[in-house]
Amino acid sequence: MADSRHEKHFVSFAAGFFLLSAPALAFAASSSEDNAEYVKKGRATYVRYCVACHGPSGKGDGPTASSLKTPPPDLTNISQKYHGFPTDKVMTWIDGEKASTAHGTREMPVWGTRFRRGEKGEARALGEVYALTKYLESIQKR
């Protein structure tokens, strides 16, 4: 009889745990799908705007890299340099409207301004910067 009570408590606990965990698991799956979409969009943005300088692999070896005064950085080792991926810093560097001496010279275009031109507006520009940031995070050396 004691085993039966323990089994009932365990079943109740397990059911409660599942009910409380299900939304979190659904959110995690959704977040993972959202993240994959941002990475996909960010890769397309990278190919369109960044490959010429930073190269297809992000190592700073694009076809125009040798013509720049300051060589483009290897974007695959940002996490190593900062001991984790600094999402806020990377977004600030890409946006470019806030001066960042950590980025070095402003030879890199101010993408935030370019993304805001035309009909895109602030929200779309932020989305482009965020997607590009998520893509850069995805290509970090492990």
Q: With the CA atoms of 84, 74, 98 and 107 taken in that order, what torsion angle do they form, in degrees rounded to the nearest 10?
A: 170
Per-residue pLDDT of the chain (142 residues; tens, 9 = 90+): 555 554 554 444 444 444 444 444 444 445 788 889 999 999 999 999 999 999 999 999 999 999 998 899 999 999 999 999 999 999 999 988 775 554 455 567 778 888 888 666 888 888 999 999 999 999 999 8
Per the listing, tokens 């939304």 go with 23
Is 128 within 8 Å of 115 (Cβ atoms)?
Answer: yes
